[in-house]
Amino acid sequence: MKQKSLHITIGSSPQPIKGTNALAHSVQNDLQLIKAALLYADKVKLCSLATSLVLITNSLEEFSTAKRIEFIEFVQACAPEAEGIDEITKFTQSYREARRKRYSKKGQATLHQLETFLDKFWPKAREVGDNLFREVGGNEVANAINSGLLEVHSFNGPLAQAFQDPKQGGWVVEFVNEVGSAVSDASTYPLFDQATGNLIRTGIRAKIIPVSHSALVRGKEIGLAADLIERLPLFEQASVDEILDIREELQRHLIRFRGAMINFSDSIMNAAWDEDFTFDAEQIFRRDVAPEILNIEDEVKANPYLAELTRKWITQPFAIPSGIAALGLSLSNQPLPALAALAVGTVINTALAVYDTHKEHRNKQLSIERNNLFFYYQAGKLIHK
């Protein structure tokens, strides 16, 4: 039966970035949401200024002069200790001064010289940008985009300046519009970080952001799924490529897991962006999920297929009444037809024993795999590997 694609919109609130560590922290937070969404959804859209800014470094080839200066200033703000940053700073200061005097003949001449120099200087600026891109985790985001499953919203306006001073950023309105529409749009499921959740809650109370029962249901399902996925062992260390591999391997089991998330989220009273939602998710994990995962673990351990197969392979033929030990025959004294019949009987009985063991194992394995939380259990095992 064909199902509609499950689409998630991630909202990650922009924060002032001062230094590489702060930018890396923002991108890493985005990646945790991205990985959880990729594991659960069919398509994902990310609305994050931090990641949008980082991705600028992947499209520098056709930048105008104004965009190049903006990018250089962004690098200054995010990587103040990067190699060659002093030279970059002096250049941008000179350029801005020349821009202010561009209507004078001397100012125009200086500006022309600086723009000519920028063409020669641009490769060094790009190198600093490329290093920054890798350092903060841009490659991981690029891998998700290249998979065809992730789209990143591109903001309008002078991002670098706005990012350094959020109060003056026109992108604030754009961000609110994007994440707000994800709440009211029935074709997507909203997944927000805590700061965005606070923003959404405030907008709903002020009646700026419309919210329906459908929005509450969609938000609770995805919020719970992401909360549980992020609890998986070593999830934080898992790469995007590993998550994509796990997603592909466990695709057929995802349907049941989604059904479980709908059932579990029905008992949650708070919206995903409410402060008490985290408590509700914790209750479901301890009451419903953790015990069931333990049951699956016990069933898997109680199904030692290889050990059983080996035992029956070795012992079953010698238990047959017509076997060599039962009759006390000497092989050297048996005619060839009798030996052939004995060999055939032994092989057939051995094959039947192996088949019965395999069938029994397969039935038990199917029972385990049909558990609604098998996807969650196996994802944890694969990440741990």
The verdict on residue 158 lying in a domain is yes
81 shares its domain with 163: yes
Tell me the backbone φ, ψ of residue 17, rounded to 5 degrees.
-110, 120
Q: Are residues 208 and 263 in the same domain?
A: yes
Q: Is residue 93 part of a domain?
A: yes
| Domain-embedded: residue 192 | yes
Give domain status of residue 373, yes or no.
yes
Residues 245, 323: one domain?
Answer: no
Residue 352 within any structural domain of the chain = yes
Cβ neighbours for 202, distance < 8 A, ≥ 6 positions apart: none
Q: Say if 295 falls within a structural domain.
A: no
367 and 255 assigned to the same domain = no
180/284 same-domain check: yes
Question: What's the pTM?
Answer: 0.77
Q: How far apart are CA 297 and CA 299, in angstroms?
A: 5
Same domain, residue pair 285 and 304:
no
Q: Are 372 and 288 in contact (CB under 8 A)?
A: no
* Within-domain flag for 275: yes
Side-chain-side CA neighbours of 75 within 13 Å: the count stands at 32
> What is the C-alpha R_g of the chain?
31
Q: Where does a domain end: 289, 317, 335?
A: 289
Domain region containing 228: 1-289
Per-residue pLDDT of the chain (385 residues; tens, 9 = 90+): 566 899 999 999 866 656 567 778 889 999 999 999 999 999 999 999 889 888 877 666 667 777 777 777 777 767 666 666 677 777 777 877 888 887 888 878 887 777 787 787 778 777 877 888 888 899 999 999 999 999 999 887 655 545 555 555 567 788 889 999 999 899 999 999 999 999 999 999 999 898 999 999 999 999 999 999 999 989 999 999 999 999 999 999 999 999 999 999 999 999 999 999 999 999 999 999 999 999 998 888 887 654 344 344 445 443 444 443 444 445 455 555 555 555 555 555 555 555 555 555 666 777 788 899 999 999 999 987 7
Query: 94 in a domain, yes or no?
Result: yes
